[in-house]
Amino acid sequence: MKSLSEIETISKRASKAMGFSWGISEEVGKSIKLLELFDLKGIKNLNEYFKKRSTEKFENLNLISENNESNKFPYCPIILGVNFLDQVKSLEKFNNIKITKIAYPLIFLSFLSRSSEILGKRIQLKFDDKIFLLNFNVNILSKMSIDDFPITANHVEISFIENIDNFNDQDWNSLYKLSEKTFVEETDSLKTGAAGAGLTDND
């Protein structure tokens, strides 16, 4: 079994060999390591993407906006991913970011996962009929089989999920009431000896 350290180093060096800068290659190393840690096929996808790059063209999406349509060729998942990571704080203002055609979306997914941690918000990625939930770079949820990752994501939608409870007040209050059964009622004498007691708050 290859260690994550080996996976990161080899991905980084291979990216440099493909013409990416050292700084971008470092990002690829981290992202592929992350995918493999989550048992997603990072090495396989990166290898296939690099093979394709030798014969096919890909577009670079540098400045990401609300609607991003590739002219002819799919977007490079690495340049798109690094720019998403860098620009995520300014992209947050968009409710929904649309991107057409991303090559090897699994590679892009790793950058989205890291963006979720930077922003402190969950990110939802939808493409074609598939949905992924990126949870603060702690995990990636999807109903999709990890072996079925497509080569191209055609219609991609990214949304930032507000930090709100996913339960209602009724459920919370019910549990809170139960938790109160672990508390002890204080006597008057204990109350008089507690922190701040006996002083006037206006002194």
Partner 1 sequence: MKVELRDPNTIMKLSRLGSFHQSKLSFLRSFLDEFKDWEYKKDLFDLDKGGFGTAIYSLKKNDRVYSLVCFANRLNDGERSDRVIATKWDAAFTLHDGVPTKQDIERLKSEVPRQEVGRLSYKELTLSRANKSVRVFDHVVDCLSKGRQPDLNLLNNVGYLYRTTAVYGSGKFGLADRFRIKNRDEINGPFRLEMMLVYLVRQFTFDQVNHVAKHKNPKEAVSLDLNICKNLGIGNSTGLGMAPFIVNHPTLLNNWIFCRETALKKIREIRNIKPEEFNLFKDCVRSSIKNLTTWNTESKYQLKKINSLLKNTKKFLRFIESEFKFEIDYPFNQIYLWLEQETCEETIEYIVSIMMEPFDKIVKPLIKHMSSEEDKYFNIPAHRTVEELREIIEKRYSDILKIDFNNKKNKKNFWFISKNKEEPRYADRYEENGSELEQPLAIARDIKKLYEKLINSKNSITIDKFLITNSDLRHVVRRAFIIEKFPYAEIQDNTIGESVVPIDMLRLKLSFFGALKFDPRSDKWLRICMFQGAPLPHELKNFNQQWVYSI
6 binds partner 1 (CB under 8 A): yes
Q: How far is CA 67 from CA 101, 109, 150, in A?
A: 12, 18, 22
Task: Tell the burial category of 157 from Cβ atoms under 10 Å away from its Cβ (0-12, 13-18, 19+).
Answer: middle
62 binds partner 1 (CB under 8 A): yes
4 binds partner 1 (CB under 8 A): yes
26 binds partner 1 (CB under 8 A): yes
Among 11, 14, 15, 24, binds partner 1 (CB under 8 A): 24
What is the rounded distance in angstroms from the CA atom of residue 155 to the CA atom of residue 203?
Answer: 65
Which 8-state DSSP code applies to residue 162?
A: P
30 binds partner 1 (CB under 8 A): yes
Residue 32 host element (H or E):
helix 22-37
Residues 70-99 within binding reach of partner 1 (CB under 8 A): 83, 85-87, 89-90
Q: Are 63 and 93 in contact (CB under 8 A)?
A: no
Residue 148 CB, nearest approach to partner 1 (Å): 28
Residues 94-133 within binding reach of partner 1 (CB under 8 A): 114, 118
Residue 54 CB, nearest approach to partner 1 (Å): 19
Give 6 or 171: the residue with its C-beta nearer to partner 1.
Answer: 6
Q: List phi, psi (to 5°) of 197.
A: -70, 145
Please give the residue ranges that form the binding site for partner 1 (CB under 8 A). Answer: 1-6, 13, 20-24, 26-27, 30, 62-63, 83, 85-87, 89-90, 114, 118
